[in-house]
Amino acid sequence: MSSDDEVRAAAHAAVDEAVAVLRAGRDKPLDRIGKAAKDFLTEVDLASEAALKAALAKSTPDVGFFGEEGGGADLNTGRVWVADPLDGTINYATGSPLCGVMLGLLEDGVPTLGIIDLPFLGTRVDSGAVQDVDGFDEAIIGMGDAFHQGGGERLDAYLQMTVDVHRKAMRFRCVGAASVLWTWLASGNIQGMVLAHNNPYDVVAGHAIAKASGAVVTDYAGAPLTLSSPGAMAAVPSVHSDLTALARDLAAKT
């Protein structure tokens, strides 16, 4: 089994390969491959995931791999890389810099390592330090795109929480990329974030980084976040309880 330092170095090297794919495809016409309503992927997503998988298979052959586009290993057993090869595909495809590569490591279902690179913002994190505040009215809170909620009462509750956050926080952010929100939280640029889901490729890397940076990472009800949680959120210690209170109806609907 590779040492922790070797595994971390392998992860950074693999992310380098994926970032190169994103940069190379930046100014080229992209075909949009349908996934679901309001969602698509591009050939860059696929090429980036292939680059990650190939690099990690060579450097850490004893670690499994699970990617957003191709799936893969059982997430609950052993060591498994979890990758979002292009987070914020719609942003990327429309020329926005708010996109990134996310790579996390699970050990028996528990996030232990994360790397996020935002290539068009010149930022990479694998740890950080949150910036706490004195109260919710001094906090900047990021919310993930609501379309992940599907429809019905859960969507309504998520949209209502978005309104409540917008009213009560100092500022509100919705950027269309979980990678950006996790990075901003770990870097002290925001104080809380709520995702509309708990997809492992959008959460595992950020979960590990946020915890290492001093954030509280939970589900909507405030319970410890696991792979089976219905949704994910994280915040600085002083803000988390207020965020959980605002998510009470959403937690009930999920």
Could you list the residues known to form a binding site, using ranges.
68, 84, 86-87, 202
Tokens for 191? 């104080």
Alpha-carbon distance of 8 to 204, in angstroms, equals: 15
Strand order in the sheet with 140-143: 171-173, 140-143, 192-194, 233-235, 216-218
Residue pair 34/40 in contact by the 8 Å Cβ criterion:
yes
Which residues contribute to the annotated binding site for Mg(2+)? 68, 84, 86-87, 202
Q: Which of 247, 239, 130, 136 is nearest to 196 (CA)?
A: 247
